[in-house]
């Protein structure tokens, strides 16, 4: 499995501190002090309060309030209060992953479980929904350029720590990052496609993925499944898949454009697309990840500096190939 290092990113800000929402700067000395003696979520399994459907708060909403409180257009998220969100159609595994992620995500506060008859297709005691902390939308391209690298470092920190907790997210993209309303820090959300690394790969069967952020290998498998060549679902996401999706996410943040399907999940990637990232360091890291996925860059870039860089790289590749042919 390819490995990714964020050393290049961390060199930019060696004294990096977690990034906060620019409009929610606040002191948290007391909070840090109060949490210093607590065990991390990886050391213990939190026990969330449970609410059965008979007491399900969302069921008491009048129909017009359901629509008024809906967040987005999926019908899954509802604004329960100013600081809380109700998410429906979740699984026990998803909430387990949220708990294990700890302060890297919006904290789940209460599970809502099924309390149904034996004839129901739903199993009594399993999770139906969750009440969790609310967040504010993250829009990377609106962050001033001088602060953007700090946000990139924070995104790397979140992924590295998530993987360190033994979790692969599986659906990394800009819309799955939020600013916490509670402490103003950046968080990652939506664990419907996530999995524990130690779990058997056969246990993962999610379809909640975003095609535009898939590696070429996984995208090819998805296309084959659509053609009914493969009877199985996508392969489970890996740590590298998370970083590949992050590379595409960073491209979107630095260009202000959404990634299009078949733009970065194919073997051939347009050099002109890559050239749109003007930050040389970020562009270099994105390029490195794409190459590790087996991608090739096609068509000459319009930027003279990039043209020289790519030409030098091609010459180096040719020289390496000649040396290998001489040895053979």
pLDDT at 68: 72
Could you report the per-residue pLDDT of 227-260, keeping only the tens digit for each?
Answer: 554 445 678 999 999 999 999 999 999 999 988 8
- Residue 141's pLDDT band, with cuts at 50, 70 and 90, is confident
Rounded to an integer, what distance in angstroms lies between the CA atom of residue 188 and that of residue 155? 9
Query: pLDDT band at residue 129, thresholds of 50, 70 and 90?
Result: confident
Residue 70 has a pLDDT of: 78
Q: How confident is the model at residue 137 (pLDDT cuts 50, 70, 90)?
A: very high
| 108: pLDDT strictly greater than 80 | yes
DSSP strands (E only) in 7-126: 50-51, 77-79, 84-88, 108-113
Task: Provide the β-strand partners of residue 111.
Answer: 50, 130
Q: Does the pLDDT at position 76 exceed 90?
A: no
- Distance, in Å, from the CA atom of 181 to the CA atom of 185, rounded to the nearest integer, reads 8
Spatial distance between the Cα atoms of 175 and 178, rounded to a whole number of angstroms: 7
Q: Is the pLDDT of residue 317 over 60?
A: no
Nearest to 146 by CA among 13, 275, 250: 13
State the pLDDT at residue 12.
45
What are 163's strand-pairing partners? none
Least reliable range by pLDDT among 7-16, 85-94, 291-300, 301-310:
7-16
Share of the chain above pLDDT 90, in %: 40
Specify the range with the lowest mean pLDDT, choosing from 10-19, 252-261, 269-278: 10-19
| pLDDT bracket for residue 208 (50, 70, 90) | confident
Output the pLDDT for position 219: 84
Could you give the CA distance from residue 118 to residue 124 in angstroms, rounded to a whole number? 8
Instruction: Give how far the C-alpha of residue 134 lies from the chain's centroid of Cα atoms, to the nearest Å.
Output: 17
Confidence bin at 73 (pLDDT 50/70/90): low
- Axis-axis angle for helices 280-292, 239-255 (nearest 10): 140
**pLDDT mean over 282-307:** 84
CA 91/CA 94 separation, integer angstroms: 5
Nearest-angstrom CA–CA distance, 100 and 167: 8
Give the whole-number percent of the chain exceeding pLDDT 70. Answer: 63
Neighbours of 294 (CB within 10 A): 11
Interacting residues of 88 by C-beta distance below 8 A, sequence separation 6+: 58, 75, 76, 77, 78, 128, 129
Residue 88 pLDDT: 86
Question: What per-residue confidence (pLDDT) applies to 156?
Answer: 96
pLDDT in tens, 215-233: 998 888 766 655 554 445 6
Nearest to 221 by CA among 169, 1, 211: 211
Q: Is 306 exposed, middle or buried (0-12, 13-18, 19+ CB in 10 A)?
A: middle
């Amino acid at each position: 499995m390819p490995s990714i290092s964020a050393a290049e990113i961390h060199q930019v800000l060696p004294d990096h501190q977690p990034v906060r929402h620019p409009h929610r700067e606040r002191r948290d000395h007391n909070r840090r002090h109060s949490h210093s003696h607590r065990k991390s979520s990886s050391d213990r399994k939190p026990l969330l309060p449970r609410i059965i459907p008979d007491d399900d708060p969302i069921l008491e909403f009048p129909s017009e309030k359901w629509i008024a409180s809906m967040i987005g257009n999926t019908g899954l998220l509802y604004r329960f209060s100013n600081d809380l969100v109700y998410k429906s159609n979740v699984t026990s595994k998803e909430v387990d992953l949220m708990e294990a992620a700890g302060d890297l995500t919006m904290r789940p506060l209460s599970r809502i479980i099924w309390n149904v008859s034996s004839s129901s297709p739903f199993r009594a005691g399993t999770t139906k929904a969750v009440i969790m902390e609310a967040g504010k939308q993250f829009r990377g391209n609106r962050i001033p350029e001088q602060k953007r690298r700090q946000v990139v470092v924070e995104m790397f920190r979140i992924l590295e720590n998530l993987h360190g907790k033994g979790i692969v997210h599986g659906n990394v993209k800009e819309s799955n990052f939020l600013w916490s309303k509670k402490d103003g820090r950046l968080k990652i959300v939506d664990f419907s496609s996530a999995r524990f690394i130690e779990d058997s790969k056969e246990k993962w069967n999610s379809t909640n993925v975003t095609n535009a952020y898939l590696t070429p290998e996984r995208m090819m498998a998805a296309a084959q499944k659509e053609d009914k060549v493969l009877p199985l679902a996508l392969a489970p996401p890996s740590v590298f898949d998370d970083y590949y999706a992050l590379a595409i996410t960073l491209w979107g943040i630095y260009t202000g454009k959404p990634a299009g399907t078949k733009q970065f999940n194919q073997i051939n990637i347009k050099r002109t697309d890559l050239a749109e990232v003007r930050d040389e360091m970020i562009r270099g890291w994105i390029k490195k990840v794409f190459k590790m996925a087996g991608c090739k860059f096609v068509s000459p870039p319009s930027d003279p500096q990039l043209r020289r860089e790519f030409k030098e790289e091609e010459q180096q590749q040719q020289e390496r190939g000649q040396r290998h042919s001489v040895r053979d």
